[in-house]
Structure 1
């Protein structure tokens, strides 16, 4: 699904030199490279505070820990997403409340969100899935009306922009009280191992977060918070420093590949290409089709035979997973349940060339004719 080797070869000399410099320095934990990456990412996102951590799941958990939520408090999020979003909710003994998504954007349905709010609701986690923002303007309005925290799960959309109705533009992950992201290698901004970060414009929360990620310490061996051990190491930070200036170019390369796919599939009545919302740029972490003729699984098998990797994100709703099972009325999850039967993601990365794109699209259209 991604070609990390070809991407690496283009920046090999810079990355190799940077990694060797960290090894020579022996500053592996909380070294200057981590601080420099933090500062550069703050500048890129135009956010006051970036708190690096070990991975994107930790970022979500630590964000929730910083809000002093109580056992049983309710957190609303989308039913159609990766399990990490609710995994951390349950680890902290909070209650996840899952709602349907918009059929076209795959992001949380605003009316279903409003209907799910109860006196126990304390936060909303919108997921910026597959590379574009959820409708943050509406989500922020709902949150303000009900006094709720908004924690953006930005693991799949770093670099995307949200455009408010007054023309204001904000980077994904910087609009809620907290935002989180992952630097897993296949992400648009990926390191060569695990990594993550939390974003906020709130000074007090930033101070608390910096303690939580480091065993609850602000001064060594004095533990003021219940914390965790979750740090971005210097080797990953130095790699991310080399890739961050290339992020916009990486995202543009993904958009160009998406444009090629869009044009190729435009006339096929059984293929719906990803919808690009007017309020968000799309950075295409995934390029996810909807197959309308009931042949999605057969298409995946056909593509596998053609040596075209194609993945199904996601095959099971979170509310039906054994670990997070929730009683539900199918009428409340019409879009999620349709998507589970229709979605298939094609190869999407920065190194796709026209020959590869033609081979992939020809294979899809051969099956779908």
Structure 2
């Protein structure tokens, strides 16, 4: 069966380097805070183009740590796209603040700046919550429209936290993902553009004070040493083995994986653009393609195509079948469904196809051949 994200081929391609890196950690026996962690952080900061990279346990905790450092809490409003993974809104509620969901742009899947400003203005007028921050998401590998978002944030005095969990490697006008806003985070979940062999995450910022505070918060609020605790924090560290693996993978990512996955994207587009709605990458933008997501005509057609692909041994995924405002965990907030027409539509018509840097043109042809066969003779609308 075809792989949706082929981590097996990636491992076999770099087996010697990965095994050696892991073995070095095992022999050194410095499993927490080993030298590989600091080396990785330096390499990541340099690649992204920021002063500080602070690694941590996972992408969700990365966002939580930033919100903790900013003092986000009860009575605060944080603006989050309605069409994204649950954790982006979850971290807001976890801090006791209120997530205010915002509809997205139909072409890019990312937070819609016009809807964002309307949501901010509405929150200000209601006077129930204090607007504090925006968490744009770089969905499917494409950076959000930070030029407009940062202007809006400045206008209303809001902080911007870039959720680059899916966006690492993407860019906008030459500026790399995870370098936007006041701080940014990413995830090293195995299937992400840059993934480890377990959980992992990182925070990026140019703010020296914020970086220092997060370094403390991520290790039980430590002060000058591990048994000097100056504040309440959490335990969220990237272990040395994962850092060692990521160092090998980062080199591969920079050397060829990012360009190779974009080659697959172009092959898909050439074969599918006349049949379905293919991903839109605006001028000046570059995507790292965490997912290759097409749009169908209806939920019925989408579900039918997914079932047919499965019959041919081709995996596909629906990201996301339910918008944030419809999640049961957020039902206490009583959102108005009419405010999210795009997110509601996308949840019914999106389908993500297999894509990864090791995907051959023959596999692309196999996927697109089935899609053409199914949809050209398809009366399901």
Aligned to 1:238: 244
Asked if 1:192 corresponds to 2:197, the answer is: yes
Aligned to 1:64: 67
Cα distance in 2 for partners of 1:220, 1:315 equals 43
Q: Secondary structure at the match of 2:340?
A: helix
Cα distance in 1 for partners of 2:373, 2:334 equals 41
Asked if 1:265 corresponds to 2:272, the answer is: yes
Asked if 1:217 corresponds to 2:227, the answer is: no
Is the 2:271–2:368 contact (alpha carbons within 8 Å) kept by the matching residues of 1? yes
Cα distance in 2 for partners of 1:331, 1:275 equals 25
Aligned to 1:88: 91
Structure 1, 341-350 or 274-283: larger mean CA deviation: 274-283
Cα distance in 2 for partners of 1:59, 1:273 equals 31
Cα distance in 2 for partners of 1:330, 1:69 equals 26
5+ long unaligned stretches in structure 1: 164-168
Instruction: Give the drift of 1:333.
Output: 1.0
| Aligned length, in residue pairs | 362
TM-score (norm 2): 0.93
Instruction: Give the drift of 1:171.
Output: 1.1
Q: Secondary structure at the match of 2:369?
A: helix
The one of 334, 351, 360 aligned to 2:358 = 351
Is the 1:135–1:279 contact (alpha carbons within 8 Å) kept by the matching residues of 2? no
Cα distance in 2 for partners of 1:257, 1:362 equals 15
TM-score (norm 1): 0.96
Aligned to 1:166: none
Instruction: Give the drift of 1:208.
Output: 0.1
Aligned to 1:366: 373
Aligned to 2:170: 160
Asked if 1:104 corresponds to 2:107, the answer is: yes
Cα distance in 2 for partners of 1:36, 1:78 equals 34
Instruction: Give the drift of 1:88.
Output: 1.0
Cα distance in 2 for partners of 1:92, 1:108 equals 22
Is the 1:86–1:96 contact (alpha carbons within 8 Å) kept by the matching residues of 2? yes
Asked if 1:301 corresponds to 2:288, the answer is: no
Cα distance in 1 for partners of 2:242, 2:155 equals 40
Cα distance in 2 for partners of 1:189, 1:360 equals 24
5+ long unaligned stretches in structure 2: 125-129, 377-381
The one of 17, 41, 52 aligned to 1:14 = 17
Instruction: Give the drift of 1:226.
Output: 1.5
Once superposed, which parts of structure 1, at least 4 consecutive aligned residues long, lie more than 3 Å away?
328-331
Aligned to 2:341: 334
Q: Secondary structure at the match of 2:286?
A: coil
Cα distance in 2 for partners of 1:109, 1:354 equals 34
The one of 284, 292, 300 aligned to 2:289 = 284
CA-to-aligned-CA distance 1:84-129 (integer Å, 9 cap, x gap): 1011111111100001000000000111100111341100000000
Q: Secondary structure at the match of 1:123?
A: strand
CA-to-aligned-CA distance 1:2-47 (integer Å, 9 cap, x gap): 1101011111101101100100000100110101101111111111
Cα distance in 2 for partners of 1:141, 1:225 equals 34
Alpha-carbon distance change, 70 to 348 in structure 1, aligned in 2, over 3 angstroms = same
